[in-house]
Amino acid sequence: MSTAELRSALLGLEIFAGLTEDQLDWLVSVSEPRVLADGEVLFRDGEEADGFHVLLAGGLVVTKVVDGREEVLTRHSTEEESAAAEEHDGKPSAAHRFTGELPLLTDGSYVATAAASGPATTVVAYPKPVFFEMLTRCHGVAAVLIPVLAWRIKSSEVQARKRATVEALGTLAAGLAHELNNPAAAVARAAQELAPALEGLTRTAQAWGAAATGAERSVFDRLAEELDKLPPPTTTDPFAQADAEEEIADWAEEAGTERPGLLGSGISDLGLELGWLLERLEGVSEPALPAALDHLAALLEIRSLAAELRAAGPRISQLVAATRDYANLDRAPEQRFAVADGIENTLVVLRAKLAGIAIVREYEPGLPELTGYPSELNQVWTNLVDNAAEAMEGAGTLTLRVRAEGVCLVVEIADTGRGIPEDSLPRIFEPFYTTKDVGKGTGLGLHLSYRIVTQRHHGSITARSRPGETRMVVRLPLTTAAACAAPPDEPTSDSSTTR
């Protein structure tokens, strides 16, 4: 391409249309034309951004690998028909003719891959220093570039929101396929086991009645009554539960019970340990102890089967409710709702990812309801919990706290994962910024969460991190007139490792 042809081609572009003769002379002198073969890569996702690229002829296809799948984000074309087809989503015509400005302005890496589409794609490359000099020398360039930049950020956010919705629905659908089968299987199993369990309960009741004194029966009755009133455990630690089950079973076997394993699992499932059981059985003599333990094991078995039958219906209702909430993302009207319900919904959706992770709930009793958009906040909880699960890699403790604090409702999601690098922490809410490997993150999840919390709900979201502890703190106003800014002295980082 001759100098005259390059000059004419550049002058015909909207971004350079207002340049003076001197500015155009300079632009031509620093231009580096390049012809790409069909499919040839101009730049790759994750590479350090080193240039601003102007399309003179042909086309470019911009793609990104997300969770192992290559997705087409947009296409740039110099052909009017192809360009018009891409403008249905409000894409400015000028956006077809240049790319690469966003990572240069944010001093980051390319956030997607661009490759030639067509046999004779011609681009002009401007290295990073030249691009910034261009903005200084040619003021008209910024007037065209800024609206395109705003559209690209907005378009990326919209795509990320759609992708997040689809991913949430996909996760929920996979969970539903598994979880909806569980209640039916539980009903069938419980029905099958109920008859022999009732026979066992009758037999152990007779044996216990024959072996026990009146005082011992009173001890057992108090134990059974206390078990009836026990609330479900607030902390679930699978390892501690397994240790407790084994300890109770070993002791029960030495005591002479027929089904020590059943007793161990029944007591440990309630979050109880051997010491608790020994204390409640004081007053039962050694000769009567085996009969007491056999009867207790049979009683716990019946109650467990009954609980499974009672839980089957609500479990299905909960899953259906979760599906309804997620299917209405971005369409739900403003309403009054309980934040803790949305968090529990999120745990249902992400149950498979949370396998092996201990969950601690610290919900302040009597929490007031919030006015806002519950489905959008579900996106926030899903993103924060999912990030925490990834950071812990299947082992650790997830702590969920909800409390009222003045005019705000405060939600804390804490994990015991690797932590966030100290130099990354101030940037985690920026669009397109990610610490994940290429293809494993869009860099928009936390940015979208930030927008939902701050713009849609007028709240705040902050992060604190050190090795072994990362806390995301969301503050939401309880009334529309309130404001929930983060405390000015709240730190954003304590120290760092790689997350």
CATH topology (fold) of 328-477: Heat Shock Protein 90 (3.30.565)
For the domain made up of 3-167, the CATH class stated in words is: mainly beta
Q: What is the mean pLDDT of the chain?
A: 81
- Picking from 147, 132, 144, 146, the residue whose alpha carbon sits closest to that of residue 17 is 144
What does the alpha-carbon distance between residue 25 and residue 346 come to, in Å, rounded to a whole number? 58
Q: Are strands 32-36 and 121-127 parallel, antiparallel or unpaired?
A: antiparallel
Q: What is the DSSP letter of 53?
A: E
Which position has the token pair 């997620």? 326
- Sequence-distant (6+) residues with CB within 8 A of 369 are 336, 337, 338
pLDDT of 270 > 90? The answer is no
Q: Give the model's pLDDT for residue 496.
A: 33
What does the alpha-carbon distance between residue 363 and residue 252 come to, in Å, rounded to a whole number? 36
- Predicted model pTM: 0.46
- Sequence-distant (6+) residues with CB within 8 A of 292 are 208, 211, 212, 216, 220, 281, 284
pLDDT of 127 > 90? The answer is yes
State whether residue 189 is helix, strand or coil: helix
- Counting beta carbons within 10 angstroms of the beta carbon of residue 54, is it exposed (0 to 12), middle (13 to 18) or buried (19 or more)? buried
Q: What tens digit of pLDDT does each residue of 423-449 get?
A: 888 878 776 656 554 444 445 678 888
Which position has the token pair 């609980």? 307
* Alpha-carbon distances of 399 from 239, 390, 412, 472, 492, rounded to whole Å: 17, 15, 8, 11, 19
Do the Cβ atoms of 371 and 339 come closer than 8 Å? no
The pLDDT-based confidence of 120 (bands split at 50, 70, 90) is confident
Q: What tens digit of pLDDT does each residue of 448-470 get?
A: 888 889 888 989 999 898 888 99
Find the helix or strand (DSSP H, E) in which 211 lies.
helix 181-211
Do the Cβ atoms of 418 and 410 come closer than 8 Å? no
Do the Cβ atoms of 112 and 63 come closer than 8 Å? yes
The pLDDT-based confidence of 194 (bands split at 50, 70, 90) is confident
Domain chopping of the chain, boundaries: 3-167, 181-311, 328-477
Mean pLDDT for 133-158 is 84
